[in-house]
Chains A and B, each alone.
Chain A
Amino acid sequence: MDWGQIFTNAAGELLSPVTAAYALAAIGISVHFGYAGLLNFGQAGFMAIGAYAFVVPILSFDAPLWLAFLSAILASVLFAFLLGVPTLRLRADYLAIVTIASAEIVRYVVSTTGLTAVTGGATGLSGFNSGFTAINPFPDGVYGFGPWTYTENQLWIRVFGWSLVILASILVFLLMRSPWGRVVKGIREDEDAVRSLGKNIYAYKMQALILGGVLGSLAGVIYVLPRAVQPTNYGTTLTFFIWTMLLLGGAATVFGPIIGAMIFATLLTLSDSILRGLISADIITFISGTQAGQIRFMIIGAVLMLLVIFRPQGIFGNKKELSFNV
Chain B
Amino acid sequence: MSDTIVTHPLVVGEVGPGCKKVDPIVVADNVTRTFGGLTAVDVAHVEIPRGAITALIGPNGAGKTTFFNLLTGFDKPNTGDWSFEGHSLARVPAFRVARKGMVRTFQLTKSLGRLSVLQNMLLGATKQPGENMFTALVKPLWRKREEEITAKAEELLARFSLDAKSDDYAASLSGGQRKLLEMARALMSDPVLVMLDEPMAGVNPALTQSLLGHIKQLKEEGMSVLFVEHDMHMVRHISDWVIVMAEGKVVAEGPPDTVMRDQAVIDAYLGAHHDTDLGEMTGANPVVEAKEAAAKVAAKKEGTV
Contact = CB atoms under 8 A, between A and B. Distances in A.
Interface of A: 171, 174-175, 178-183, 185-186, 188-190, 192-201, 207, 211, 320-321, 323
B113 interface: yes
B95 A193 contact: no
29 contacts: A178-B130, A178-B142, A179-B146, A181-B136, A182-B122, A182-B131, A185-B112, A185-B115, A189-B113, A192-B74, A193-B106, A193-B112, A194-B112, A194-B123, A195-B74, A196-B72, A196-B74, A196-B103, A196-B104, A197-B95, A197-B123, A197-B189, A198-B95, A198-B96, A198-B99, A198-B126, A211-B133, A320-B169, A321-B114
A186 B186 CA distance: 15
B144 to A, nearest CB: 12
B50 interface: no
Interface of B: 72, 74, 93-96, 98-99, 103-106, 110-115, 119, 122-124, 126, 128, 130-133, 136-137, 139, 142, 146, 169, 171, 185-186, 188-189
A294 B133 CA distance: 43
A195 B106 CA distance: 12
Contact of B115 (A178, A186, A198, A200): A186
A320 B115 CA distance: 9
A91 to B, nearest CB: 16
A178 B139 contact: yes
Contact of B132 (A180, A182, A198, A321): A180
B106 A192 contact: yes
Please list the 3 inter-chain residue pairs (A to B) with the smallest Cβ-Cβ separation, ordered nearest first: A198-B98, A193-B110, A179-B130
B130 A197 contact: no
Dominant secondary structure of chain A at its interface with chain B: helix
Contacts, number: 98
B133 A180 contact: yes
Contacts of A199: 95, 123, 131
Contacts of A200: 93, 95
Contacts of A196: 72, 74, 94, 98, 103-106, 110, 186
Contacts of A195: 74, 94-95, 98
B137 A174 contact: yes
A186 B123 contact: yes
Contacts of B72: 196
A317 to B, nearest CB: 12
A175 B133 contact: yes
A193 B119 CA distance: 13
A326 B166 CA distance: 25
Given A196-B72, A320-B114, A174 B136 contact: yes
A127 B96 CA distance: 52
Contact of A178 (B114, B137, B189): B137
A186 B112 CA distance: 6
Given A180-B136, A198-B126, A192 B98 contact: no
A189 to B, nearest CB: 5
A176 to B, nearest CB: 9
Contacts of A320: 114, 169, 171
Contacts of A178: 130, 136-137, 139, 142
B231 to A, nearest CB: 23
A320 B99 CA distance: 31
Contact of B110 (A174, A192, A211): A192
A200 B99 CA distance: 10
Contacts of B113: 189
A200 B111 CA distance: 18
Contacts of A207: 133
Contact of A182 (B99, B110, B123, B126): B123
B270 to A, nearest CB: 34
B268 to A, nearest CB: 29
